[in-house]
């Protein structure tokens, strides 16, 4: 069981009345307990790192928190204020009931694989980033296809005329990749999902590759606004000849899981309404 936290960050991105109220409540509680705490907003990396982060918001907020804190292995405790909340561990309504569990160290940590991304321009300029969910190459606002050549471990896979390409982690299998027809993967696994978006060919299917793989995607053609996005919260424009190289990140995201929390498949059923019979009852 982890040691009870002594220093806590409360991370938010929006400034709604509900969020402000909950930040004030948590701050008052932490103060009464004699804990160090700080409210953090935005995308600037903190100068000091806590023992744990309470993330208040939706999945987008959690992805931003992962970008700031995962390189330092800081555990993230997600509190859902969004529309779906796949990455959160508890709801705002249940937060009061479970906060004491977290402060007492009554939780366990779940390691989630991250994808490391190198964005290499045609002139050799290079940027790096990492993703908890996915790295997505997309055609941009115009309804015209682009062509992407994809290889795995140096072996040519295919050249896809498509709207784009997704390279997702198991955590990201329930995000954009799911909408594009990809499989649902248990988040405890380590692998890559390579998933074309609306490919104009009958042979395009999702490919599952081991975590040791190097996935390389070269942009053979580009349209105005063609981009690569990282977890849907960071991105940059791409041009013809640019390429993306994806590997497993050397570090992982650490997510707080409550012993009283829902198992993955139960969580999946509730979020996606699997098994729900919407037909009218007939006598």
Which sequence positions are flagged as catalytic? Answer: 59
The Cα 177–Cα 82 span in angstroms is: 19
Terminal-residue alpha carbon distance, the chain: 52
Q: Which of 17, 64, 32 is nearest to 45 (CA)?
A: 64
Residue 198 in contact with residue 162, Cβ under 8 Å?
yes
The Cα 67–Cα 79 span in angstroms is: 17
Q: How would you list the strands of the sheet with 155-162, edge to edge?
A: 126-131, 115-120, 243-248, 215-219, 146-152, 155-162
Residues in the chain, overall count: 283
For residue 111, the SS3 value is strand
The Cα 136–Cα 152 span in angstroms is: 16
| Strand partners for 32 | none
């Amino acid at each position: 069981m982890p040691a009870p936290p002594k220093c806590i960050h409360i991370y938010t991105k929006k400034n709604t009345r509900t969020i402000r109220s909950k930040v004030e409540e948590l701050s008052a509680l932490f103060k009464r307990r004699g804990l160090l705490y700080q409210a953090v907003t935005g995308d600037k990396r903190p100068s000091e790192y806590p023992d744990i982060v309470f993330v208040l918001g939706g999945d987008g907020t959690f992805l931003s928190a992962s970008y700031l804190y995962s390189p330092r292995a800081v555990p993230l405790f997600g509190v859902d204020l969004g529309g779906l909340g796949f990455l959160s561990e508890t709801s705002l309504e249940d937060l009061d009931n479970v906060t004491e569990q977290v402060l007492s160290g009554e939780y366990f940590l779940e390691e989630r694989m991250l994808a490391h991304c190198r964005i290499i321009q045609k002139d050799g300029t290079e940027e790096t980033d990492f993703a908890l969910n996915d790295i997505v190459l997309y055609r941009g606002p115009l309804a015209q296809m682009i062509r992407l050549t994809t290889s795995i471990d140096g072996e040519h896979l295919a050249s896809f005329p498509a709207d784009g390409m997704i390279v997702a982690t198991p955590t990201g299998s329930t995000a954009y990749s799911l909408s594009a027809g990809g499989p649902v993967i248990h988040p405890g696994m380590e692998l890559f999902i390579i998933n074309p978006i609306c490919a104009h060919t009958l042979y395009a299917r999702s490919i599952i590759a081991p975590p040791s793989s190097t996935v390389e995607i070269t942009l053979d053609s580009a349209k105005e606004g063609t981009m690569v996005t990282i977890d849907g919260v960071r991105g940059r424009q791409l041009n013809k000849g640019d390429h993306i190289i994806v590997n497993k990140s050397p570090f992982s995201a650490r997510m707080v899981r409550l012993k009283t929390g829902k198992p993955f498949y139960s969580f999946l059923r509730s979020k996606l309404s699997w098994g729900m019979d919407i037909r009218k009852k007939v006598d």
